[in-house]
Structure 1
Amino acid sequence: MKSPEKSRHDKQKKKRKDSAHPLPLIGIDPSSNLLPSRHEFFQVLAVAAIAVIVAFSCNLATKKLLLHRSKPLCDNGEFSGLCEPCPTNAVCSEGKWQCVHGYMKHGRLCIEDGEINQAARKLSDWILLHICRSSARFMCTGAGKVWFKEEEILNIMDGYKLPEFSSDSNSHVLVKTKAMESLLVVLETRKGYDGTKEVKCPDALAEKHKSVTCLVHEWVLKHVLFLVATIPMTIALIRICWRIHQSRKLSTRAEQLYTQVCEVLEEAALMAKDTGTEGDSWVVASRLRDHLLSPKERTNSALWKKVEALVQEDSRLDQYQKLIKGEPKIVWEWQVEGSLRSNKVKGKSSKMKADEHIVESSQHVRRKLQLCEPDC
């Protein structure tokens, strides 16, 4: 059996031997294997931050959802952290809520009813037109009303029919209230002598509702001096233009009649030459006039006078008096042999070309005159 001193000595020798041969792991650098690199460190840090944010958001959303579900709606006029505020335009009571008249539920909100808004818009436009037309009438003629009381407007509204709503329903009252609110935004307001509110159409808006007669009257009054100076000149110019037009029309018609007279006289001369008689070569001017002119044209003495002037200026025609049945008559006679159509190029009537109906009418006139000669 070993003594205690000898066993202690063996243990110390064994420790020295172990220290002379260290383990292989002791020689390895601990910074390269045990600790992460800088890049890996930042990646771990980013993942941890995202996880914290997600956990916090989920926790907050869960709390709000639970809180929202658990809190009832507050009654109107009450504010407390234990309940949610009542939605706008709603009536809340004992945790239940309902939209006031004229509004409809849309989720947890109360939105306006479209039919009521449309009816209120139509009503306000109609009242605005009535008020502005009355103001425009007052501006033009001095007759009409300018300022209206709210009671009067409400009475006017009663005359406007709303087929969608009955007159005694709450919807009809709401439409009138909304229409009045929109009117007060557009119209001018003041307090009357009795303290009531009165409204009036703005002058700029009333100008747009003036009638055409009123606008013309205002323009005439504004330019009266200009009109006084220009109207006589305009009338005189119109009369001059009308006279020129009538003169040209008269000249054109006279030339047409002159052409027919020449054709009738030429035909009479040719027929007299063919038959060998001399009495048939002339034609009474008054009879020829009555046959060529219409009853309306006979009242215009200037027309036939112009035809007579053209006949007198024509050297191919001869004009003289002849006693027929004891009465002196002016007769016309063709003095040149040949056809009139061949002489038109050289004569005054070169610019006028007779139509076929004119020639036919002249022949018809000549035949009538021949039948009338023995009796006249």
Structure 2
Amino acid sequence: MEDFQDMTILQIRKRLNELNAFVPSSVTRKQDLIDKLVEAIQKQQQPERNPPKRSVSPISSFQRQKTEPAFSRNSIPQAQAVSPPRRVGAIPYNPSSIKLSNQKTDVFRQRMEAAFPSEEKESLEVKSSSATLIKESLSQIGTFIGILLAILFAAYLVKVYMAKPIFCGEGIYENCIKCPEHAICKGGSMSCEPGFERDRTACVEDEKVKKKAYTRLWELESYVISQATHKWLETRTEFMIDFEDYSRQFLETEEGLIVSRLKELIKAKVSLKIDSLDDPLKLIIHAKKPFLGLYAQIIEFLQDHKYSLTIGLLISLFFIYKYICYRQRKVLLQQARKMYEMISSQIKANVDDTLEHGVMESTIKSDIENQLGKSLTRKLWPIIEELRRKDKNVCKFEMIVSGRPRILWQWKEEVKPVIGNKMKYF
């Protein structure tokens, strides 16, 4: 136990604040400090027992005490009195107006006990704070264990993936990995064949070599299809070529790795347009059927049916010509009928106006040429003549007009010609 007899109020207050931080282990010391502080304040209050009188009722003082705020755990409570406040040492203190002899307990002591709870309350607070500390500690420990497990798992994965595998081969047959395809295993290590690259524990095809080999395959397909089409249309025979001959013509400057890869693709029958014969000595390439395009198929059909197509074409042209002639004659007949109606109307109108009682044929032709032209008149005139022969109201005859023989068309009249004693009708 510490000796508090020689300590001032300021020192006691400072020591009390220090002990508040260690509540679980210093409950008794704190209570002693409180008692010591109360005694010191009462001793300093005794010389001033008779303060200036002021009428304050006990009830109002008691109500003021109820409305005062609660004290915090780390602060020293202050007693509020009616008289003006004054400082006792380093602590502001207001003495109560009620006499201590009339009170069962001192007001200041009540306030101090309310600010600093009893040992039972302290023990409950200690238990709750201990449970909280335990929970926080357990959560921190769990977090630490989780992080530690994650680190260990990551380290295990790194070890598994970074570990160098051992491949079987040349005396190594246990605790090893089987040598993959297109790989060369030696001394537990693995290396890939030319044209392949390593991918973990396997050998995959080199993308550059693969792309170039497929490009050469497409060129070979195009060449074989074009040659096969040309030969088939000329001789109706199939085109075949040896791969060695093709290589000498088109792959002479190509890398050997690309050529060998192209050869493997042909043997594996990867292409959909070309195929190879099952010959162990040579690689013979030919086009898969059907290999003819649309244009080549049309040419093939024309070649196979050229005679029948020629006859059919001639017959078709004949019927087309006849149909065209029929349409033209129909149109010409319509125009000829129209012109003949005009001519017959003119002849009928001129029966009594002329000496010959008719119209000269040259006049009729000139009128038609003025309307339709010479070429169309030549086409229409035979039809007009035919219509005249069928018409019984119009006749045609020859007579001398102005000393010259003229052909006239007349309406229902028979005129004796002047040429000789004979009558000449048409």
* Structure number having the greater helix percentage: 1
> Looking at CA atoms only, which structure, 1 or 2, has the larger radius of gyration?
2
Work out which structure has the larger RCO, using CA pairs closer than 8 Å and 6 or more positions apart in sequence.
1
